[in-house]
Structure 1
């Protein structure tokens, strides 16, 4: 073999080796979430997928709600390493990470969208304290973000806690949310999401809560007649990775993932502007008989008073750790208030 041929052969071998190494490093990662692909979590996941695939050789497979089971199932699969990413509300991780239930203390989060978004961007509790708690469960907390004001949908009108008396109200399997609706006067009934529509249809339950876009997309308005804005909460969700998976990545891939999360975070906040009003308009068009009520400050006062007991119960459930997070969240919220 001539010298030049050896050079060319060596170059070809190097190129082939580099190609094989690149192929070996290009992985397919699985990402499950709790909503449909067209809902807020699905829009976030799609944007994240686009960013990862545009900036790496990796591929993201998306699994919307129901394709891999209920919320508890996808969390177990993430902890086991079957899934690399999961989007799940603290409402379902409350028994796993009790402190995460702080997001269900009523009237804690602001209703002002600008303040709310800045809180999620800058909160020390979210960005510094919660990652340690998630890590204890084998999870890498990548970010948290809001999904919209929570509304109550019921079969009868709600103007105060007395109207929820003996109402079987579906809640997520979250101990503090159970206590919240007890304090509000209802009979809280934890149910997996897949059973909610049928439960309302057959009157096993008479109410449920969710952001407006989700009420529209899941057609909850078909089996309830009243939508009530009580201003008591904004739905929060969290993006996590299996910790062993994430820590096993190169620094370059870790940065690429965090950058993709940051892009998707800002994208989803922008996407949600006006979404509640759009969803409400669509519901009114689909069901003109629906009654929508925004409680006045006077009507909200008894709910806000009940929330004080829920806050005390949160501290009782979680001890010093929960109290520290609650105090930090209040400080974080004060920092973003006008």
Structure 2
């Protein structure tokens, strides 16, 4: 056997060993979220999958809403390690992490999109304080991002809190959101998302809230007659990893995840530009008789006046820790506003 042939065989063996090693290190990561594949959380997840698979040997398996159960099911699976990643709104983690309910204090988040985006990008509360709280529940908080202005759907027009009197209004299973809609004058009714369409159809409830894109994609307009936007909130969601899984990864894999999250964050903020208006227009096209009311500043004032009571309820629920986060968020929001002026 010639030396050249021996070297060729040796090189091929080394290459084979390297390929086997790479294959052995490659894994399939499981990622579940609360929306459909073509909704905002699904778009974020697809971008994350694209980035991971382009820059590592790993693959990402996506599980849209309903494939693994309701929101509480996927959270349990993420905490137990069955899932590696989960995207879930603080609305469903309020019982687990009470301080996360701060995102449901009405009129806390700004309506200006640039200010809102800057807040989520640079917030000390989000980037430094919340990760510690999520870690206590076995979760690595990777990012939070806004999904769009929340609007109400009802059977009758709403121009003041009086119009919500005795309206059975579906809310997420979140204690502070219950307090918020009590303050608005409604009768809050916590329900899992899978039951909402049917409950509206049968009259068990008469209203619910969600961002415009979600109202359009889930066809909520088929079982309600009025959309009312009062500027009270922007739907927030959080992407998390199982902490034991994340901590056990190599430094390179952790860096790849962090980079993929950053790219997906930038992508999803850009994706949402104009999405709310486009979604409301599509609803109007699908159901021309649908009333879409954007309340004036004067009409919003009675709703805005309830914010103080909900803040007090939040602090009562969460104590000094919640108050510290609320105060830090207000500082972060002021900083974001100055940065975008």
Q: Which runs of 5+ in 1 are unaligned?
A: none
The Cα of 1:18 is off from its aligned counterpart by: 1.0
The Cα of 1:193 is off from its aligned counterpart by: 0.3
SS at match of 1:204: coil
- 1:103 corresponds in structure 2 to 103
- 1:249 corresponds in structure 2 to 249
SS at match of 1:239: strand
- 1:38 corresponds in structure 2 to 38
- Write the distance in 2 (CA, Å) between the matches of 1:130 and 1:19: 40
Q: How does 1:1-338 map to 2 (within 5 A)?
A: 6-337=6-337, 338=341
- Write the distance in 2 (CA, Å) between the matches of 1:5 and 1:166: 86
- Write the distance in 2 (CA, Å) between the matches of 1:57 and 1:244: 20
- Write the distance in 2 (CA, Å) between the matches of 1:202 and 1:308: 35
SS at match of 1:255: helix
- Write the distance in 2 (CA, Å) between the matches of 1:57 and 1:22: 7
The Cα of 1:19 is off from its aligned counterpart by: 1.0
> Which digits, 9 at most, give the CA deviation of each residue in 1:234-289, with x for residues without a partner?
00000000011111111111011110111110110000001011111110011011
- Write the distance in 1 (CA, Å) between the matches of 2:63 and 2:255: 23
> Which digits, 9 at most, give the CA deviation of each residue in 1:74-125, with x for residues without a partner?
0000111111010000000010000000000000000000000000000000
> Which digits, 9 at most, give the CA deviation of each residue in 1:159-190, with x for residues without a partner?
11111111000000000000100111111000
- Write the distance in 1 (CA, Å) between the matches of 2:119 and 2:189: 31
297-306 vs 232-241, greater mean Cα deviation: 297-306
- Write the distance in 1 (CA, Å) between the matches of 2:70 and 2:192: 7
The Cα of 1:8 is off from its aligned counterpart by: 4.0
The Cα of 1:11 is off from its aligned counterpart by: 2.8
The Cα of 1:12 is off from its aligned counterpart by: 2.9
The Cα of 1:304 is off from its aligned counterpart by: 1.0
- Write the distance in 2 (CA, Å) between the matches of 1:278 and 1:227: 14
- Write the distance in 2 (CA, Å) between the matches of 1:327 and 1:236: 18
- Write the distance in 2 (CA, Å) between the matches of 1:36 and 1:16: 40
> Which digits, 9 at most, give the CA deviation of each residue in 1:173-212, with x for residues without a partner?
0000001001111110000000000000000000000000
> Which digits, 9 at most, give the CA deviation of each residue in 1:26-65, with x for residues without a partner?
1101100000101000111111111111111110111100
- Write the distance in 2 (CA, Å) between the matches of 1:51 and 1:2: 45
TM-score normalised per structure 2: 0.97
The Cα of 1:292 is off from its aligned counterpart by: 1.0
- Write the distance in 1 (CA, Å) between the matches of 2:275 and 2:231: 16
SS at match of 1:143: strand
- Write the distance in 2 (CA, Å) between the matches of 1:68 and 1:219: 22
- Write the distance in 2 (CA, Å) between the matches of 1:268 and 1:7: 50
Q: Which runs of 5+ in 2 are unaligned?
A: none
Moved over 6 A (4+): none
- Write the distance in 1 (CA, Å) between the matches of 2:296 and 2:13: 74
The Cα of 1:9 is off from its aligned counterpart by: 4.0
